[in-house]
Structure 1
Amino acid sequence: MTDTTTASVTPTTDRAAAVERLQTLSYPLVRITAGLLLVPHGAQKLFGWFGGYGLAGTGQFFGETLGMEPGILFAFLAGFVEFFGGLAIALGLFTRPAALAAAVLLAVALTVHVPNGLFWTSGGIEYPLMWALIAVAIVLRGGGAYSLDARLRLPF
């Protein structure tokens, strides 16, 4: 009887222990993915990579279409935060300041998308809202144990 009980408990216990060990990877997974997904958006704005318009084209759009003058400055700031801030978030280096800059950027993006409603399929706020909340969560949590901030003992 003891062997049967032990056999039925062990797989559950083993799964629970495995899940518990993997839980430590959940936050770095979110932080790294969020950071890396910001990088190509910045590359589009700064360098024209991935089908982007580069600094001149994005600056023109920011200025003429969005009314954010000087457009080239705002395009540069947005691209810089997305590209270099995204890298910093992914690496967990100066994590809180980088995530705060991303949250501010995304708050501005929300104002641009509000007139289009909620759903992203209509250009609404759904997507930038989700990313803004992820950025705020990263600001609150910091780099975590698996970050350069922790490795270098930085207060971020």
Structure 2
Amino acid sequence: MSTHDTTPAPALHDLGDLVIRASAGLILVPHGAQKLFGAFGGYGLDGTAQFFSTQLGLEPAFLLALLVGVTEFFGGIALAAGLLTRIAALGIVVLMAVAAFHVHLGNGFFWTNGGYEYPLLWGLVALGYVLRGGNRYSLDRKFGLPA
């Protein structure tokens, strides 16, 4: 039996955590830009609201389109930066739960068929940050906010 500790240094854990948190947040940003600004081939707020209303039956469609766009765009940036991490992550969890269970559930599991796999994954990743916060490499920690 070896007496050497083979667990990675805490700094590596924190760096790995930063990679996951930043990636998860930044992947959401273009989705929000589609909804808010019509970027990346998106519909903008009016088009997204129309889609929410006519295709998904979500009302009040404009307000929901705005909330989804803000959560994805600004919440994604906040999650990536580790700023108000738990609050941003909670917004993402709620958004992804609605997406998974209201929008995608009827299509089965696999994302390639429009299923709930993708929003479930990102919702669970965000839930991890609701529970653990931004940790060492976060703006929360830098500014003395609860991390």
Output the TM-score relative to the length of structure 2.
Answer: 0.91
Alignment match of 2:93 (pick from 103, 107, 112): 103
Output the TM-score relative to the length of structure 1.
Answer: 0.86
- Partner letter of residue 85 of structure 1? G
3-state secondary structure, aligned to 1:24: helix
Q: Is the 8 A contact 1:64 1:71 kept in 2?
A: no
Partner of 1:116: 107
Partner of 1:28: 18
- How many pairs align? 141
Partner of 2:138: 147
What 5-or-longer segments of structure 2 have no aligned partner? Answer: none
Answering whether residue 68 of structure 2 is matched by residue 78 of structure 1, we say yes
Deviation track 1:10-66 (CA, whole Å, cap 9, x = no partner) reads xxx9xx69x535333100110011111111100000000011110010000001111
1:135: Cα distance to partner?
A: 0.6
1:155: Cα distance to partner?
A: 1.5
- Partner letter of residue 58 of structure 1? T
CA distance in 1, matches of 2:131, 2:58: 29
3-state secondary structure, aligned to 1:133: helix
Q: Percent identity?
A: 58
1:70: Cα distance to partner?
A: 1.6
Deviation track 1:59-114 (CA, whole Å, cap 9, x = no partner) reads 00001111111211110000000000001001110000000000000000012100
Q: Is the 8 A contact 2:26 2:76 kept in 1?
A: yes
CA RMSD of aligned residues (A): 1.4
Matches of residues 42-53 of structure 1 in structure 2 within 5 Å?
42-53=32-43
Q: Is the 8 A contact 2:14 2:135 kept in 1?
A: no
Alignment match of 1:63 (pick from 43, 53, 56): 53
CA distance in 2, matches of 1:154, 1:24: 17
Q: Is the 8 A contact 1:55 1:76 kept in 2?
A: yes
Answering whether residue 51 of structure 2 is matched by residue 40 of structure 1, we say no
Answering whether residue 122 of structure 2 is matched by residue 128 of structure 1, we say no
Larger gyration radius, structure 1 or structure 2: 1
Alignment match of 1:90 (pick from 69, 72, 80): 80
What 5-or-longer segments of structure 1 have no aligned partner? Answer: 1-12
